[in-house]
């Protein structure tokens, strides 16, 4: 019994130091547990630092706008985008010669001018102005010719003839076959009714055929002398007045 008691006592004595060594482990473990708990409470989701971090992470940030291309400034007067030129168009060249009545107008180089006295009626004297087609093709004339008188030095005498409706022309186109003439009536006042108030005698009759900017002339005036400042010409017709 005493031996057993000693063994137990020895066991208790051996167990004492183990327990003595075990206590510090328990104390330090508890201290570490408390420290960890404190750390968790400070660093956990409910801690102040966590709240600050959460607030920082949840703070609204300025939305990043998508990058848009910057428009390049365009110099004044220059289109921002290239403009497309319209496709070139082709058009028929305008006819150099109008065609009254559907055929070519008579050109001055194909016309001969003449003036024929046509008598006197009442207080007026009449003359037949003729434009003859000297070409080889038909041509046409339409309207009033332009008529002026020139002196021997080429200076104009008086004023150009004014337009009238005397004669056989009805305003339509006159078609001339080769050798055929168009007629226009030239009229002036008789010398007897104007007390001799007449223009100086002319040397040349100058005529612009209807529609032309070129002239034909003749030196045969058939006795034409303008008196009383009355000088008129009618439209061309197809026959003599």
Distance (Å, rounded) from C-alpha 116 to C-alpha 132?
13
Distance (Å, rounded) from C-alpha 233 to C-alpha 205?
13
Strands (E), the chain: 111-121, 124-133, 139-141, 146-150, 156-157, 162-163, 174-176, 181-189, 204-208, 216-218, 231-233
- Cβ atoms 142, 100 nearer than 8 A: yes
- Res. 182: pLDDT tops 80: yes
Distance (Å, rounded) from C-alpha 109 to C-alpha 236?
18
- Res. 128: pLDDT tops 80: yes
Supply the DSSP string of 188-226, one letter for each residue.
Answer: EE-GGGTTT-BPPPPSEEEEE-TT-SS-EEES--TT---
Tokens representing 178 are 């080769």
How wide is the angle at C-alpha 190 spanned by C-alphas 184 and 193, nearest 5°?
A: 145
For residue 176, give the DSSP letter. E
pLDDT value for 101: 52
pLDDT value for 170: 78
pLDDT value for 94: 34
Cα dist from 157 to 6, 148, 154, 227, whole Å: 177, 8, 9, 12
- Cβ atoms 88, 151 nearer than 8 A: no
Supply the DSSP string of 17-46, one letter for each residue.
Answer: HHHHHHHHHHHHHHHHHHHHHHHHHHHSTT
- Cβ atoms 232, 144 nearer than 8 A: no
pLDDT tens digits, one per residue of 136-166: 999 999 999 999 999 999 999 999 999 999 9
Range in 3-7, 27-31, 126-130 the model is least confident about: 3-7
Averaged pLDDT score across all residues of the chain: 73
Distance (Å, rounded) from C-alpha 217 to C-alpha 208?
9
């Amino acid at each position: 019994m005493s031996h057993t008691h000693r063994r137990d006592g020895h066991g208790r004595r051996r167990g004492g130091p183990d327990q003595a060594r075990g206590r510090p482990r328990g104390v330090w473990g508890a201290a570490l547990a408390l420290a960890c708990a404190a750390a968790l409470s400070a660093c956990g989701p409910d801690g102040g630092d966590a709240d600050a971090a959460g607030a920082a992470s949840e703070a609204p940030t300025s939305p990043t706008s998508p990058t848009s291309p910057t428009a390049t400034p365009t110099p004044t007067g220059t289109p921002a985008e290239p403009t497309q030129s319209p496709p070139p168009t082709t058009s028929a060249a305008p006819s150099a010669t109008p065609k009254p009545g559907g055929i070519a107008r008579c050109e001055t180089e194909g016309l001969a001018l003449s003036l024929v006295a046509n008598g006197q009626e009442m207080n007026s004297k009449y003359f037949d102005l003729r434009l003859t087609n000297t070409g080889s093709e038909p041509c046409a004339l339409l309207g009033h010719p332009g008529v002026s008188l020139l002196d021997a030095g080429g200076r104009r005498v008086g004023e150009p003839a004014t337009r009238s409706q005397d004669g056989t022309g009805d305003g339509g186109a006159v078609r001339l076959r080769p050798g055929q003439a168009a007629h226009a009536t030239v009229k002036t006042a008789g010398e007897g009714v104007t007390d001799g108030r007449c223009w100086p005698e002319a040397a040349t009759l100058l005529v612009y055929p209807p529609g032309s900017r070129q002239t034909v002339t003749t030196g045969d005036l058939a006795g034409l002398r303008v008196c009383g400042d009355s000088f008129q010409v009618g439209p061309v017709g197809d026959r003599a007045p």
